[in-house]
A and B are shown apart, each in its own frame.
Chain A
Amino acid sequence: MLNSIVLVKQVPDTANISGKVMNDDGTVNRSKLPAVLNAEDRAALELALRVRDQYGGRVTVLSMGPPRASDILRECLYMGADSACLLTDRKFAGADTLATSYVLSKAIQKLAPYDLVFSGRQAIDGDTAQVGPQTAEKLGIPQITYTESILEIVDGKILAKRRIDGGFEVLRSAMPALLTVLKDAVTPRPFRAKRLMEFKNARTLSELEKLVEENSLLYLDKLVDEAKQRNLYIETLTADDLDIDLARCGLKGSPTRVHKIESVVLAGRNRMNVEPTRDGLAGLIDSLIRDHIIG
């Protein structure tokens, strides 16, 4: 029996930027981008589910983010996660990787006991790959980053293959351990229709509150009880629920600060426009050969 916690993040879908999300000045309007489950986190969840399917145990997904991050938690439930937990509080806002990993580590400790923590190698909105290792450091546990596969788990130790610069290595690590997973490591399973029908009604506390606001015939306590009984309750953790130092959360707890954001002004090069005709292109080839660029 192995208990796993999978860290997942809702990210703007930067891979599918269309004209609809562009501002007039050519920048991307982040709020208009669809929010999706970070692809490497999906792979991390798949790996965790495979561990559970082989060795037994439970998989809990944990996401820190705004209330709407419950969308990706439902997706994780569709895939097969046993339970989901949303870590949300205005006090967590504006966090850099250090403050994020601090809050995550506190939440993981709250969800203990655990044998393995999984996350994607990095999230596509920042590409830092820092939160996984920083969380492991705070938990005081070893890490296996760039995980390609898990070979076996035996005698309380995990054997995993990871990418290194120019090749791979196989590590044997004590548990608990944190693994960050590459996107290509595994193909995530599709949603199962049965689970989708079941868990599309999974709700967080704030979502149930909203239902009550919209319909005066509903009672919150009853809804919460009902959701819990049917395993459709997505637990919410806030700062108050954690043994936490607020000075280390959110913007306050973030040593890195954005000093300046500049739009890039390109020093317009002396560009020569080449007509896409045979003559135009032949002329281009000629000048490249003349300048000894090609030959």
Chain B
Amino acid sequence: MNDTKSNDVWVFVEQRDSKVADVSFELLCKGRKLADALQGRLFAVVMGYEVDLIAQQSFTYGADEVLLVSHPSLEHYRTLPYERHLVKLIREHTPRIVLFGATIIGRDLAPRIASATQSGLTADCTDLQISDVTYLKQNFPRLLLQIRPAFGGNIIATIITPDTHTQMATVREGVMELTLDPHPRTPHMTQIEVQSDPVDELVTIVERHRQESRNSLKSAPIVIAGGYGLGSKGNFRLVHELAKVLGAEVAGTRAAVDAGFVPAERQVGQTGLTIRPKLYIAIGISGAIQHRAGMQDSNKIIAINVDPEAPIFDVAHYGIVGDAMEIVPKLIESYKARLK
């Protein structure tokens, strides 16, 4: 047990059916940089059963140390035992930062952990940095800047947690880049002893179905996305038609999802997927910051919008001002003609 509060960075490494969630290793890569800036160590907290392989892999993404919490009762995620073990570890070690993926598991677990330890927690960060901060005339060295687009579409908020030692954040999959750690470390693994508790059994899993679905959108080289500006589900068919012709995947904005034009798993943006395709065609998308957060790093962006002032044009490589209902069919026609 440590008496002093640490400068360590922890990443909760999430697994489902003993397969790691991509976002967890992405967070280790980011966590490596944060730990270096803090001159602290990077810990991977690996919880589950028969997850030794994930524990080993954590070192290749920059972890200095793995806390392995392995037990048959932890095979499938359940809120209460996971919470109990993680809270205990955090209380013992008082890390400086704890990061979670903004997955369903992360969004179920992180708030309970933050509540139990009375730590600040910021959801869906699109960037994390370490910086000295002056807040209300007080100096705080090396705080975690938790950066996220906020309400209003055109602002980026930087959230800090100046008064609590442990700072927590969740990050969506695909936001942080995945890179192997160039400096291999000496693996240091600590097995955490697991004791059961009747509280764990307050909730039991009766039935469970899941498929390892690789969302084809994530790795698609070409993505055609439609927004609320298309006006109706009928008009949204144009997006599908163009996608079919180009062999592309279909995506949508939050507003398009809310309007029922496109299913939620195809949402691109801060609260959806972050993607970097070779080509992104945005149709009837105004380009709120929350949406741009999910697509602005695409290699080439074409924006089609009737409003020449739409912010989407600011991130586009090619801009076409006009009615998508006329432009898209012409685009399809031109492409087909070119292939002949």
Chain A residues close to B by CB (< 8 Å):
12, 14-15, 17, 26-28, 30, 96-98, 101, 125-134, 136-138, 142-146, 159, 163-174, 177, 254-264, 266, 268-278, 280-282, 284-286, 288-289, 291, 293-294
Knowing A97-B121, A269-B314, A288-B279, the reply to whether A274 touches B330 (Cβ < 8 A) is no
Contact A293 B300 (CB under 8 A): yes
Q: Report the minimal beta-carbon distance from B142 to chain A, rounded to whole angstroms.
A: 14
The answer to whether the Cβ of B209 comes within 8 Å of any Cβ in the partner chain is yes
Closest-by-CB residue of B relative to A273 is B319
Q: A131-B111, A164-B77, A262-B156 are in contact. List 8 more A-B contacts (CB 8 A).
A: A28-B153, A127-B270, A129-B107, A137-B116, A170-B206, A174-B203, A274-B302, A276-B327
Q: Report the minimal beta-carbon distance from A161 to chain B, rounded to whole angstroms.
A: 8
**Interchain CB contact (< 8 A) of A134 among B112, B258, B316:** B112
Closest-by-CB residue of A relative to B299 is A293
Contact B153 A27 (CB under 8 A): yes
Contact B206 A171 (CB under 8 A): yes
Complex contacts, A276 vs chain B, CB 8 Å: 320-323, 326-327, 330
Q: How far is the CA of A129 from the CA of B123 in the complex (A)?
A: 8
The answer to whether the Cβ of B119 comes within 8 Å of any Cβ in the partner chain is yes
Contact B321 A273 (CB under 8 A): yes
* Residues 169-192 of B contacting A (Cβ, < 8 Å): none
User: Which one of B4-12, B30-38, B54-62, B159-167 contacts A?
Assistant: B159-167
Per-residue interface assignment for chain B, residues 86 to 110, with 1 indicating a CB less than 8 Å from any chain A CB and 0 otherwise: 0000000000000000011101111
Closest-by-CB residue of A relative to B327 is A276
Knowing A174-B203, A257-B159, the reply to whether A127 touches B313 (Cβ < 8 A) is no
The answer to whether the Cβ of B155 comes within 8 Å of any Cβ in the partner chain is yes
Contact A269 B317 (CB under 8 A): yes
**Interchain CB contact (< 8 A) of B334 among A97, A132, A144, A282:** A282
Chain A residues touching B, majority SS: mixed
Contact B319 A255 (CB under 8 A): no
Total B residues in contact with A, Cβ cutoff 8 Å: 90
Contact A271 B313 (CB under 8 A): yes
**Interchain CB contact (< 8 A) of B159 among A17, A127, A173, A256:** A256
Knowing A169-B205, A264-B289, the reply to whether A27 touches B337 (Cβ < 8 A) is no
Complex contacts, B2 vs chain A, CB 8 Å: none
Chain B residues close to A by CB (< 8 Å):
16, 21, 76-77, 79-80, 83, 103-105, 107-112, 114-116, 118-124, 133, 135, 145-146, 150-164, 202-213, 222, 246, 255, 258, 270-271, 278-279, 289, 299-300, 302, 311, 313-323, 326-327, 330-331, 333-335, 337-338
**Interchain CB contact (< 8 A) of B255 among A15, A145, A169:** A15
Q: 11 A–B contact pairs at CB < 8 A?
A: A27-B154, A98-B121, A128-B111, A129-B111, A169-B207, A256-B160, A258-B157, A261-B155, A275-B320, A282-B337, A289-B338
Complex contacts, B316 vs chain A, CB 8 Å: 269, 271
Knowing A125-B151, A261-B156, A294-B222, the reply to whether A165 touches B115 (Cβ < 8 A) is no
Contact A134 B115 (CB under 8 A): yes
Q: How far is the CA of A36 from the CA of B336 in the complex (A)?
A: 47
